[in-house]
Amino acid sequence: MTTRLPDLLDLTGRTAFITGSTRGLGWSTAQCLAGLGARVAINGRSSDAVDARCREIEQAGGQALPAACDVTDGDRFNAVLDDISTQAGAIDILVASAAHFLIKPIEDTTDDDISALLDGKLFSAMTATRRLAPAMHNRGWGRIVLVSSMGVIASGGLAPVDSAASGGSGSLRQGNLDGLFSPRRHLQHRRTRLLRYRVDGDLS
């Protein structure tokens, strides 16, 4: 049976958690997923900004849950993930888009630069994946999107810390997600630097 395109894109009943989703790519992603019927958990450090974005989603006819926290604070982030999972019943889709881009030669970077970028991009993605992937696997359905940037390539080698964080995302895929979700069910889109994992049905 051929599945119609609208059916493929229908996310009604699914819940998506998008890190860093009060602005930029994260916010655009949240709007898109809400438009496809998903309940979206809006994340950012500012509760006011998160609440405002939730109202925008709801005013547009979508469903939103506030998930304000600093994703570099592991204990707090885990607590928020658990809270959203309890409210929604499950988190079906993770979009790890929290990050900032740093163009600076390695010799000019500080310890704070390195910690801020690795924690914001890599640590947060690993924390959320560790928390959510096993449940997705057990339910037999899930999506994990690890967002990076073409800027890593376009910077001409002037973003070494960002490149290291993006390399860590690739290692997360190779070292864990490929095995957990089966290599046959993973798609890597190199042009957009986007790694997507999907689980459907039988995982044997």
Q: What tens digit of pLDDT does each residue of 1-36 get?
A: 344 445 668 999 999 999 999 999 999 999 999 999
145 or 66: which leads in pLDDT:
66
- Which own/partner pairs from 21-24 qualify as long-range (CB within 8 Å, at least 24 positions apart)? 21/53, 21/95, 21/97, 22/46, 22/49, 22/50, 22/52, 22/53, 23/49, 24/97
Q: Residues 98, 122: contact at Cβ < 8 Å?
A: no
The mean per-residue pLDDT over the stretch 96-116 comes to 82
CB 141 within 8 A of CB 196: no
Of the ranges 34-38, 109-113, 200-204, the best mean pLDDT one: 34-38
List domains and CATH numbers for the chain: 12-200 (3.40.50.720)
Q: Which of 39-43, 52-56, 144-148 has the lowest mean pLDDT?
A: 144-148
Does residue 185 have a pLDDT over 60?
no
pTM: 0.81
Predicted confidence (pLDDT) at residue 64 exceeds the cutoff of 50: yes
Cβ within 8 Å of residue 166, ≥6 positions away: 121, 148, 149, 152, 193
DSSP state of 198: E
More confident residue, 180 or 129: 129
| Three-state SS at 146 | strand
Q: State percent of the chain over pLDDT 70.
A: 74
Q: Do the bridges between strand 15-18 and strand 194-200 make them parallel or antiparallel, or are there none, so unpaired?
A: unpaired
Mean pLDDT check: name the lowest of 118-122, 128-132, 149-153, 159-163: 149-153
pLDDT at position 93: 96
The predicted structure's pLDDT at residue 187: 35
Q: Which amino acid is at 139?
A: R
Query: CA 182 to CA 194: how far, in whole Å?
Result: 18
- DSSP string over 66-115: E----TT-HHHHHHHHHHHHHHHS---EEEE---------GGG--HHHHH
